[in-house]
Amino acid sequence: MVHLPAYKMVPLGDSALIIDFGNIISRPVNDAVVSIFKKIQQSPIEGMIEAVPAYSSLAVYYDVLSLRKKITDEQTVFQLMKNKMIDLLQEENEPLFINEKKEISIPVCYEKEFATDLKWMSLQINIPADEIIQLHTSTTYHVFMLGFLPGFAYMGEVPDKIAVPRKPQPVQVAAGSVGIAGKQTGVYPFSSPGGWQIIGRTPVKFFDKEKKEPTLLKAGDSVQFYSISKDEFENIKSRHS
């Protein structure tokens, strides 16, 4: 069972609210965010349009016009939705659980042509490239949230030894590039500008609009990377193209 940490609930514009647990990166807090998100997906609140989980907060968007018909003179739409959320969070007979957690292994080629920043990282932190790869692949990462690009999963936390700052200026990054920024690691689903330090590339698609569930990962999933050769990279890529 997930125990609910202290939170505050505040408006987000005139058609959404935020359940805010504080500006922190914390597994227990993120577990609570994901658990609430899954609970309201399974049992949507009347008037809700969608919910969006982040590291330590959950945004809930709602239909102002339909909810306005249900409010009294003393209420606002925000207060009505806030009360509905509080009732849901306080339901004793339906505790918060993390369920449907997915564990997935992701192949990554860390060879030079794909690992454009691995040499820089090695010099910056004074650790051989092989050890950086070993540390990156020996950790099981928690998916805290999706954002930036469709299917881009913010995962953490990387070992302290290989935590490095992001680039001062974004550069063009190839689809499938695996990067590190601070204590986070992530995979670029598409070719795009990016500021994370690139240490490898995966042939696995993280976003496929043709699938019923287009994103490979969801908040709350677990990920472990494993190293592959360039030949293995090309073989896997050809099978999935």
Chain segment 137-190, per-residue pLDDT in tens? 999 999 999 988 899 999 999 999 999 999 999 999 999 999 999 999 999 999
Strand order in the sheet with 16-20: 8-11, 16-20, 57-62, 48-53
238 or 235, which is more confident: 235
Question: What is each CA distance from 192 to 114, 170, 189, 196, 233, in whole angstroms?
Answer: 15, 9, 9, 11, 21
The pLDDT confidence band at residue 212, using thresholds 50, 70 and 90, is confident
pLDDT at 239: 80
Chain segment 59-75, per-residue pLDDT in tens? 999 999 888 888 776 78
Question: What is each CA distance from 131 to 85, 119, 140, 150, in whole angstroms?
Answer: 47, 12, 16, 31
Task: Inform me whether the pLDDT recorded for 95 exceeds 60.
Answer: no
CB proximity list for 221: less than 8 A, separation 6 or greater = 101, 102, 103, 104, 142, 143, 153
The pLDDT confidence band at residue 2, using thresholds 50, 70 and 90, is low
Segment (H or E) for 74:
none
Residues 129 and 238: their CA atoms lie apart, in Å, by 27
pLDDT at 93: 47
Task: Inform me whether the pLDDT recorded for 76 exceeds 80.
Answer: yes
Residues 126 and 165: their CA atoms lie apart, in Å, by 15
